[in-house]
Structure 1
Amino acid sequence: MQDIKLPGAAALALHVLRLSTPFAMAGLCLWVLSARIVLPTAADIGGLLGGLHLWQWLAACGATGISFWALGRYDSVAHRHLQTGLDGPEARQAGMAAIAFSQLVGFGLLTGAYARWRLVPGLTVMQAAQLTGLVGLTFMAALAMICGLAMVMFPVFAWFTPVGLLLVATSLVGAIVSFLAPNLRLGTITLRWPSITAMAALCTWALVDVMAAGSALWVLLPQGLDISWSTLFVVYAMALGAAIISSAPGGTGPLELTIFTLLPGHDSTGLLAALLAFRLIYYALPAALACAMMGMPHRLTTMRAPPIDPDLLGARHSPASLLPHQRSCAEVGIIHQNGGHVQAFGFNQLALLDSPQISVALFDPLNGNISETLKPLRRYARQRNAIACLYKCSTRNALAARQAGWAVLRIAAEAVLCPQSFSEEGSSHRQLRRKLRHAEKSGITVTPAPAQMPLAQMAALDKAWQLRHRGARGTTMGRFEANYLAAQQVYLAWQKGHLIGFVSLHCCETEWCLDLIRLCPKAPDGTGHALLRAAIAGAKQEGIARLSLAAVPDHRFATRMDPGLRRFKACFAPQWQPRYMACPNWWAMVLAGLEMLRLIHRPGAVLPTVLPAAARRTFSPTISPTMALPGAPSDRPESETATTGWFAARKSEEMRAS
């Protein structure tokens, strides 16, 4: 029987130990404090408190109000990070009440979660616990940064500067790591770090809170106690950290011990009187108001839906599988793979991608006016603690963004040509003709992909290509995946019955856009040119008015980026059209640019693309690639000659011309 009861007894003992530790910590700190200072009498304390002026009490109350107002804003950022849909005035009031209640009672995670759950209808127990844990952990991280900066700026002791620099450096490294690896996996649980925008907001509100609380304590210092505001600020920030870590009720003990330890040469009686007055104003008064609110939580009538925002009325979120085929930009098809979606603001539709740092509208709107989407896009991003961004938009839309006060930067140039009038004749296509002759002499044949694509060969070719190029970029550039290619036009290059390359193109009603180019390491010179020339011929046959070769970097910091890709596209003498990036301000531009670089160069795992049946491409009758090899008989219809037997078609044209 004893063996059966031991685990239960051990669990009970551990539970009692957890509950008693904060009280033991408070008692130990108070005992150490009593041994370090001479405790004043009640009469001395009463005299000092009575000597405080009315303006001091009122100023302390005002500073306390500012501090809790900042804490409410802190809760608001946490709500947006967890996407509770409850970011509103009532939730902020509940956050202030929860912090006031928990900092007096202690056991912040339990009491804070209980208060939030009770005060916010619609908030589940799990969400309340997550919210409280997030607020506690991020506040400690922000407080570490604040303490580090304060110790460097206001060094009370010589060791403050190196310790402060270490805290600041650690905080910055943590922010960089969270940016590069926004998700933390703990077994089966995945945690998402707050965005850089959220971190900046959390640090700002934490700084306002600590400065206001420190000011409340400073104005309550009795006359004759000469302590500068800067000194008391840095000491209070460190004492606050010790109080939070201890989880003692009201931080009693650790707060006082830290302050008296870091301010040893000052009048202990006056300082103790100021701390007592501070506890009355900053702890007791807010806690009394919080208890009153918790006694009648029906006054907070928060609903589960987000607050009504006139800028977001009519906003709709549709999956990428509903991307319309009748659109002006074929390249928008990239959202089938990068996790993007179709976002509607009223009658205006955007191809939107949400990342940990930004909400980026790719290319131009699917339909509607860009000027009508800028404000709701900013509100939408703000609800995610993210930055709004336009990426690779046209000149007209970039001008509209600049007129709205956004920062605009030219980042790329898109190569565009017209398949209906394209010809490789003329001096501008001299290099293209040379490449095509090389491909023809090497015995290369280009065919459109059959309905049953040779996926195994294509996957092997893609793997070899990635090994040569050190991986494939993503997010704004496609990656090999069978379902993804099913929505595209694909052309294959063959040599002696072996697949040596392929290209894929996004397609919509009026435009095709180049996406994947995969060539085997030993592909003959001109293979890529022959593939793209066949795609142009196919677009002409399908009546496509515009074919985009996609964009290349085109700004002063990218003069040496992808020079080979630019030369390849320049062989076709396209029209170069500038493309821009736009953000609400230049700080947002820097952060969004870094995030786009991370997304492109460090994309996540390739996920299967979900496509409706209507989005899958239609194929010509299946034909074996060997039928299109040079010298082999072909029973293809004559109408397909321009696509599959392009070299033969060119020869016949030359013969007719001669």
Structure 2
Amino acid sequence: MQSLKLPSAGQPLQVLRLTAPFAMAALCLWALSTRIDLPSAADLGGMLGELQLWQWLAACSTTCFSFWALGRYDAVAHRHLQTGLDGPQARRAGMAAIAFSQFVGFGLFTGAYARWRLVPGLTVMQAAQLTGLVGVTFMAALAVICGLAMVLFPVFAWFRPLGALLVALALAAGALSFVAPRLTLGPLSLRWPSLRAMLALSVWALIDVTAAGTALWVLLPATLEISWTTLLVVYAIALGAAILSSAPGGTGPLELMIFTLLPAQDSTGLLAALLAFRLVYYALPAAIACVIMVVPDRLKSIRAPLTDPDLLGAQHSAAETLPHYRFRAESGVIRQNGGHVQAFGFNQLALLNTPQISVALYDPMNGVFKETLAPLQRYARERNATPCFYKCSARNALAARQAGWVVLRIAAEAVVTPLTFSEAGSSHRQLRRKLRHAEKAGITVRPAPPSLPLEQMEALDLAWQNHHGGARGTTMGRFEANYLATQRVFLAWQGERIIGFVSLHIANAEWCLDLIRICPDAPDGTGHSLVRAAIAGAKQEEIPRLSLAAVPDHRYAARMDPGLRRFKACFAPEWRPRYMACPNWGDMMIAGCELFRLIHRPDPVQPAILMRSDDLRSSLGLNLPGVLPGSETEAAEWNGEAQLTENQSPRAAPQASRAS
């Protein structure tokens, strides 16, 4: 930016930027010459000639292993940037780009150019972003590797405290990336890699550094007695210095750092090993990379459509296309939390992508649950994210466990049947008392008119938030005009004043309670009257099932809002367990922490997008009569008793796979 403001200073700065790496290399080589006695060319040639064939072959093998890991590293970076170009070709291009850039130097420019040239469909900007991401994250991973190595295998006494500091900083950065997924620097907003991506990058970097250090170790002459662990620690530190210098091949900084950390070794033998290492690890891969750069067609192929069988038929649809005929009305929450409708063949999920996870909310909207497990896992992998099902039914949790996933009971959903609901009987004694209190206070509840009184409702919502310390989100709705326009709303009046309202997600055969907003000074029983009116409204429209939504149901649930459970218990609902499912317990921990963050610290509300009036009414089923279970099979399904059969048609299978 300074060069744009000060044109006269641009040329010197450009020259300095280009010459600094060479100056650094020359300075380090001069410093090295003052520390050791440089051997003659004949002595170096003699030492190289004494290396055995197996040493050269072993060094070549470990070099191949190192570059294989670097190719995998590039694949993780492609997935983070969502280039859509992850695959064998991109991995091979990454290997060639790193071989070319580490030999030539100026890694950001040469690496970006190589990737742009070798990967068709990759733009210049994407190539630069990819190269920058690889460089920055590799240095971060290398710092962690150096820290751990210095703690575990200290060469000097001061290694342990310095290594512990590096590890502590890395852990702090990981925690920061989880709490604040985006780093904002002025107008620039950067997304941290997910924890899953960080772990993968660290593993591939560790394999790369270990393999490269091993290649140097096997090339040591017999006269040098340096342990493998000691050399790995020293090489990792020297590699960091070499990368930071941007010198071609790291020449100078790498050698100077190694001789500084290994001062008591035979300089001739160590220098010969470094020369052999440069031939095997730098020169040979660079020669291959240059050939590929000249003839890139060997790597090129037209971007092919997705052929992963797990993802065939995958389709991403906006939240406003949410089907009215779906199993779980509560999936309507994706209209404001940034989620979307994800189809895997005939199976549809309400899916939410976050920096850490790809979470399918509730049961599939349509389709067979077990057919979504593998596609969801592969879909999440393409984002470096953790796959997760949140609040799925007991039946589907069992299917996930049978597929090898781990499940955890997290909630209990309160369900009532509007068609047969009555407040008579001992189980509704508390409800009757609350309704009488509301009636004596002059509370009347009516369905909201088509034109919602948004100003009064917004003021009420603000008062409720101030009283309760804010609204939770992501899996629970928040006040927003367009969002409420897609729901069924009931208002509680006291005279001419609105003192409360509830909103419900609506689907063809289910309503689900979403927002409950009651004035802090509202009479006792206001909330009960609102929910009772909603049940009556569902009965009038012949809706067979109304969900009062879920409450926490685990070992710590007693400490989490017991008043909410007591409120819902007044309606004597059927309590149905809800589960969380992930491929393993590590993923479960990540998903649980991410969901806790999203619920308690939600992102800003995203206004729901409304369709045209006719399309909206059709989508919400407002022109359709209420749908009753049409057969014994469907009725049993709503009660959680239906079983899949071998001869069901593809169209019937989604209905039969619905778990209560």
Same structural fold, with TM-score higher than 0.5 when normalized by the shorter chain:
yes
Question: 1:271/1:293 Cα in 2 relative to 1: closer, same or farther (>3 Å)?
Answer: same
180-189 vs 169-178, greater mean Cα deviation:
180-189
Given residue 283 of structure 2, which amino acid in structure 1 is its aligned partner?
Answer: A
Find the aligned partners of 2:499 and 2:154 in 1 and give their Cα distance: 67
* 3-state SS in 1 of match to 2:395: helix
Q: Deviations over 1:116-145 (max 9, x none)?
A: 001111111000000000000000010011
Q: Deviations over 1:321-355 (max 9, x none)?
A: 11111112111111111111111111111111111
Which residue in the other structure is 1:623 paired with? none
Deviation at 1:594, TM superposition (A): 0.7
**Following superposition of structure 1 onto structure 2, how do residues 86-485 of structure 1 map, counting pairs within 5 Å?**
86-305=85-304, 307-485=306-484
2:507–2:621 CA contact under 8 A, matched in 1: no
Deviation at 1:195, TM superposition (A): 0.6
1:236–1:259 CA contact under 8 A, matched in 2: yes
Given residue 441 of structure 1, which amino acid in structure 2 is its aligned partner?
Answer: K
Q: Deviations over 1:236-269 (max 9, x none)?
A: 0000000000000000111111111111111111
1:142–1:202 CA contact under 8 A, matched in 2: yes
Q: Deviations over 1:2-27 (max 9, x none)?
A: xx999434101100000011111111
Deviation at 1:102, TM superposition (A): 0.3
Question: 1:57/1:361 Cα in 2 relative to 1: closer, same or farther (>3 Å)?
Answer: same
Which residue in the other structure is 1:528 paired with? 527
**Following superposition of structure 1 onto structure 2, how do residues 466-545 of structure 1 map, counting pairs within 5 Å?**
466-545=465-544
Deviation at 1:186, TM superposition (A): 2.7
Given residue 616 of structure 2, which amino acid in structure 1 is its aligned partner?
Answer: A
2:358–2:385 CA contact under 8 A, matched in 1: yes
* 3-state SS in 2 of match to 1:87: coil
Deviation at 1:306, TM superposition (A): 5.7
Which residue in the other structure is 1:640 paired with? none
1:91–1:302 CA contact under 8 A, matched in 2: no
Deviation at 1:372, TM superposition (A): 1.0
* 3-state SS in 2 of match to 1:608: coil
* 3-state SS in 1 of match to 2:558: coil
* 3-state SS in 2 of match to 1:559: helix
Which residue in the other structure is 2:653 paired with? none
Find the aligned partners of 2:252 and 2:353 in 1 and give their Cα distance: 46
Find the aligned partners of 1:88 and 1:438 in 2 and give their Cα distance: 66
Which residue in the other structure is 1:629 paired with? none
Given residue 246 of structure 1, which amino acid in structure 2 is its aligned partner?
Answer: S
Structure 2 residue 20 is matched with structure 1 residue 21: yes
Deviation at 1:610, TM superposition (A): 0.6
Q: Deviations over 1:52-96 (max 9, x none)?
A: 100000000000000000000000000011111110101100000
Which residue in the other structure is 1:615 paired with? 616
Deviation at 1:166, TM superposition (A): 0.6
Given residue 171 of structure 1, which amino acid in structure 2 is its aligned partner?
Answer: A
Deviation at 1:615, TM superposition (A): 3.0
1:122–1:302 CA contact under 8 A, matched in 2: no
Which residue in the other structure is 2:35 paired with? 36
Which residue in the other structure is 1:644 paired with? none
1:85–1:304 CA contact under 8 A, matched in 2: no
Deviation at 1:494, TM superposition (A): 1.3
436-445 vs 582-591, greater mean Cα deviation:
436-445
Find the aligned partners of 1:319 and 1:190 in 2 and give their Cα distance: 24
Deviation at 1:30, TM superposition (A): 0.8
C-alpha RMSD over aligned residues: 1.5
Q: Deviations over 1:203-232 (max 9, x none)?
A: 000000000000000000001201001110
Deviation at 1:407, TM superposition (A): 0.5
Question: 1:431/1:219 Cα in 2 relative to 1: closer, same or farther (>3 Å)?
Answer: same
Deviation at 1:507, TM superposition (A): 0.6
Given residue 535 of structure 2, which amino acid in structure 1 is its aligned partner?
Answer: I
* TM-score normalised to structure 2 length: 0.92
Find the aligned partners of 1:346 and 1:438 in 2 and give their Cα distance: 52
288-297 vs 336-345, greater mean Cα deviation:
336-345
Find the aligned partners of 1:143 and 1:62 in 2 and give their Cα distance: 22
* TM-score normalised to structure 1 length: 0.92
Find the aligned partners of 2:136 and 2:193 in 1 and give their Cα distance: 11
360-369 vs 183-192, greater mean Cα deviation:
183-192
Given residue 127 of structure 2, which amino acid in structure 1 is its aligned partner?
Answer: A
Find the aligned partners of 1:392 and 1:111 in 2 and give their Cα distance: 48
Find the aligned partners of 1:310 and 1:10 in 2 and give their Cα distance: 57
* 3-state SS in 2 of match to 1:373: helix
* 3-state SS in 2 of match to 1:145: helix
Find the aligned partners of 1:330 and 1:72 in 2 and give their Cα distance: 44
* 3-state SS in 1 of match to 2:156: coil
Find the aligned partners of 1:193 and 1:89 in 2 and give their Cα distance: 25
Deviation at 1:175, TM superposition (A): 0.7
Question: 1:257/1:405 Cα in 2 relative to 1: closer, same or farther (>3 Å)?
Answer: same
Find the aligned partners of 2:185 and 2:476 in 1 and give their Cα distance: 30
Find the aligned partners of 1:83 and 1:434 in 2 and give their Cα distance: 57
Find the aligned partners of 1:77 and 1:533 in 2 and give their Cα distance: 52
Give structure 1 stretches of 5+ with no counterpart: 621-658
